[in-house]
Structure 1
């Protein structure tokens, strides 16, 4: 693999967006248009993490070869962000799409919450580079318990985005590579 200085990433800014399931990634990542909708303010300190479950290896053998093959279980991944906007939309992403808005404007926390199902897009900007994570279908729901720790920082709602297969796709999410590799001149 060649060293590619243009393929490094230092996040200068970013946004997280949702749209109806199956919405295509926008042609211009710096100016996504309707139906893409920004989720709001997110943490500057905890930008994004991706964790996975599954993928355990099982060695399968025969009497003649104890380690003939390796089989791997299915793997699911969760993208974690911290939403710092406690408006109706943000609260419904955290507490469930079926969280009811009560007559006085409060959001009622459902006893049997349902994740929000939507297309998801994360866009990060590093100068001229743009890096995106795109899932045409994902379940969005709380990733951890709510904890209000202190009076000196913004409170956050830990949100988990679980990419799911969409249609005939054999993938659950896609990422944009950075930097183009130039071929050395011939001769």
Structure 2
């Protein structure tokens, strides 16, 4: 692999979007089509984290070769970010898509919450370059407990996005190489 100074990433701006499950990756990542809805303000300090589960290795042996092959269990990943908007749409992502609007205007938190299922897109801008994560189907739900620590910072709702296999795809999410992308 050759050194490529133009392939380094410094995030200057970014946005997170949802759309109906199966919505295609936009042809212009700088201006996603109307189907893609921006989730709102997000943390500038905790931009994105990716955690993995699974992927454990099992060494398979024979009498003749104690380390013949390695088999790996399925791996799933969760993309995490913090939304800093406390409107109905954001609260539904955190508390569950089955949250209800009460007659008095409050939002009822379900005892058996249902994650929001949607297509997910995270777009990061580095000068003239673009880098993105795209999942045609994902579950979006709280990633951690709500904690408001001080009066000097914006409060946030930690969200987790679990990419899921969509239709006949053999992948759960895709990333774009840094630069211009055409799907």
Return the TM-score normalized by structure 1: 0.94
SS in 2 for 1:138: strand
User: Which deviates more, 25-34 or 39-48?
Assistant: 25-34
- Runs of 4+ aligned residues of structure 1 deviating over 6 Å after TM superposition are none
Root-mean-square deviation over aligned CA pairs = 1.0
Matches within 5 A, 1:16-165: 16-165=16-165
Match of 2:174?
174
1:32 & 1:72 partners in 2: Cα distance?
A: 36
Contact 1:4 1:179 in 2 (8 A): no
Contact 2:130 2:179 in 1 (8 A): no
1:106 & 1:25 partners in 2: Cα distance?
A: 35
1:149 & 1:96 partners in 2: Cα distance?
A: 23
User: Which deviates more, 100-109 or 35-44?
Assistant: 100-109
Contact 2:94 2:141 in 1 (8 A): yes
SS in 2 for 1:79: strand
- Unaligned segments of structure 1, at least 5 residues: 181-187
SS in 1 for 2:6: helix
2:64 & 2:33 partners in 1: Cα distance?
A: 60
Residue-pair matches, total: 180
TM-fit CA distance, 1:179: 5.1
1:179 & 1:28 partners in 2: Cα distance?
A: 11
TM-fit CA distance, 1:89: 0.3
TM-fit CA distance, 1:22: 0.2
